[in-house]
Structure 1
Amino acid sequence: MKGDIKVIERLNEALFLELGAVNQYWLHYRLLDDWGYTKLAKKEREESIEEMHHADKIVQRIIFLEGHPNLQSIGALRIGQNVKEVLEADLAGEYDAVKSYKKSREICDQLGDYVTKELFDELLKDEEGHIDFLETQIGLLNAIGPERYGQLNAASANEVD
Structure 2
Amino acid sequence: MIKRDKSIELLNKAVAEEMTAVNQYMYFHILLEDMGYDYLAAYFKRTSIKEMIHVEKFAERILYLKGELELRASKGVQKIHDVKQMLELANKMELDTIQNYNEWAKICADESDAASKKLFEAILLEEEEHQDQFDTELDNMNNFGDNYLALQSIAHSKSAAKE
Q: What TM-score do you get using the length of structure 2 for normalisation?
A: 0.92
The number of aligned residues is 160
Per-residue CA deviation, residues 73-125 of structure 1 (Å, 9 max, x unaligned), is 43133342211011011111111211110111000111121111110011110
Aligned-partner Cα distance in 1 for 2:2–2:148:
51
The match for 2:150 is 151
CA contact (8 A) 1:20 1:77 kept: yes
The aligned counterpart of 1:105 is: 105
Instruction: For 2:96 and 2:78, locate their aligned partners in 1 and report how far apart those are by CA, in whole Å.
Output: 12
- Structure 1: how far apart are the matches of 2:93 and 2:72? 19
User: Does 2:133 correspond to 1:133?
Assistant: yes
CA distance in structure 1 between the aligned counterparts of 2:28 and 2:73, rounded to whole angstroms: 20
Letter in 1 for 2:65: L
Is this contact kept in 1: 2:7–2:108, CA < 8 A?
yes
Measured after TM superposition, the shift of residue 158 of structure 1 is 4.9
Amino acid at match of 2:113: D
Equivalent residue for 1:94? 94
Partner SS, residue 7 of structure 1 = helix
- Summarize deviations over 1:18-59 as a string: whole Å, max 9, x none: 000000000000011111111110010000100000000000
Counterparts of 1:37-48 in structure 2 under 5 Å?
37-48=37-48
8 Å CA contact 2:17–2:73 kept in 1: the answer is no
- Give TM-score, length-normalised by structure 1: 0.93
Runs of 4+ in 1 over 4 A off after TM superposition: none
Question: SS state of the match for residue 152, structure 1?
Answer: helix
* RMSD of equivalent CA atoms: 1.5
In structure 2, C-alpha distance between the alignment counterparts of 1:138 and 1:78, rounded to whole Å? 18
Query: Structure 1's 35 and 156: CA in aligned 2 closer, same or farther, altered over 3 A?
Result: closer
2: CA distance, partners of 1:94 / 1:65:
26
Instruction: Report if the CA contact (8 A) 2:20-2:77 is conserved.
Output: yes
The question of whether the paired residues in 2 share the 8 Å contact of 1:79 and 1:85 is answered with no
Percent of aligned pairs with the same residue? 34
> Aligned letter for 2:24?
Q
Matches within 5 A, 1:47-86: 47-86=47-86
Match in the other structure for 1:23: 23
Q: Assess if the C-alpha contact under 8 Å between 2:19 and 2:72 holds in 1.
A: no
Taking the aligned partners of 2:72 and 2:21, their CA distance within structure 1 comes to 14
For structure 1, list consecutive stretches of 5 or more residues without a partner in the other structure: none
**Matched residue type, 1:47:** T
1:32–1:41: 8 Å Cα contact kept in structure 2?
A: yes
